Amino acid sequence: VFLYIYFIFQRTCSEDMEVENTTLLTEFVLTGFLYQPQWKIPLFLAFLVIYLITIMGNLGLIVLIWKDPHLHIPMYLFLGSLAFVDAWLSSTVTPKMLINFLAKSKMISLSECKIQFFSFVITVTTECFLLASMAYDRYVAICKPLLYPVIMTNGLCIQLLVLSFIGGLLHALIHEIFLFRLTFCNSNIIQHFYCDIIPLLKISCTDSSINFLMVFIFAGSIQVFTIGTILISYTLVFLIILKNKSVKGIQKAVSTCGVHLLSVSLYYGPLVFMYVGSASLQADDQDVMESLFYTVIVPLLNPMIYSLRNKQVIDSFTKMFKRNV
């Protein structure tokens, strides 16, 4: 792999010399997704409401967990961190999309594009690691309930949270560094509503083989590792559930795991399908819709999915509401 990377760098050095005398583009147009002009205001209002509910829901969940000492356990520390990442992800993508609904010009500078992409990769990668950590937490809670307080301590939980954010940061840095080697001189049209790596690679004047390789190696490895962790954890959980003779225990385990599996499916489904077809050289409106789902809709749904089916969260919210009334 390293020999291949070195070869690509050597080859691109000569290509970079060829584009030195070419006018390089530093501003881009985000096309967004296709819609009729008369839908501009309704779409703006709809996504504005979605964004406000997303921020209030996720930040509200964080405050609830922070205020209630009974929720200062690994399960809810993971949930609070997930809410924080969802709010961050939505804030990375949605505000620019809202501006573009009303602005005559949908321009974004190269520096803004790189910052948005960097923030996007951190949040998406961190969420993958958080979902895997939450699956492991549920495995220990159900398969080893007596050892759960010993294994899944708050210290271990914090270590997993820190590693999740560090993993997201390192993954973003890798792609950001390789993004700096790209030049843009032919087209400045980004077929997306935010700056993602694949649309940028498609319009680059520089040979982007090494960038595609980095996406394949790192993004692919992270998805395989996190999805594998989730599948193994829940396979073991369901084997324990099948052996459990207690109907009440089975219902409780299925209810707890079902909520997390629903969140995982909603998040990973569009994400995997999007990057499986990332090698396509043509713009695909389906990719835009899939991206819209896991960057805008999933952060909206997660607080509802985890809160409405969680009795402890509902009880904590009810107590806090009564104290403030």
Beta partners for residue 189, in sequence order: 29
Q: According to the model, what pLDDT value does residue 95 have?
A: 94
- pTM to 2 decimal places: 0.87
Position 249 pLDDT exceeds 70: no
* DSSP track, 45-111: HHHHHHHHHHHHHHHHHHHHHHH-GGG-SHHHHHHHHHHHHHHHHHHHHHHHHHHHHH-S--EEEHH
pLDDT reported for residue 7: 45
Structural domain spans, the chain: 25-317
Residue range 149-205, pLDDT digits in tens:
999 999 999 999 999 999 999 999 999 999 988 888 878 888 888 998 888 888 888
Residues of the chain with pLDDT > 90, as a percent, come to 41
Q: How confident is the model at residue 314 (pLDDT cuts 50, 70, 90)?
A: confident
- Position 101 pLDDT exceeds 70: yes
Q: Averaged over 242-262, what is the pLDDT? A: 70
Looking at domain 25-317, its CATH class is: mainly alpha
- C-alpha 20, offset from chain centre: 36
pLDDT at 262: 79
Query: How big is the CA angle at 225 (ends 221 and 229), to the nearest 5 degrees?
Result: 170
Query: Confidence class of residue 276 from pLDDT cuts 50, 70 and 90?
Result: low
Please give the Cα distance from 269 to 23 (Å, whole number). 40
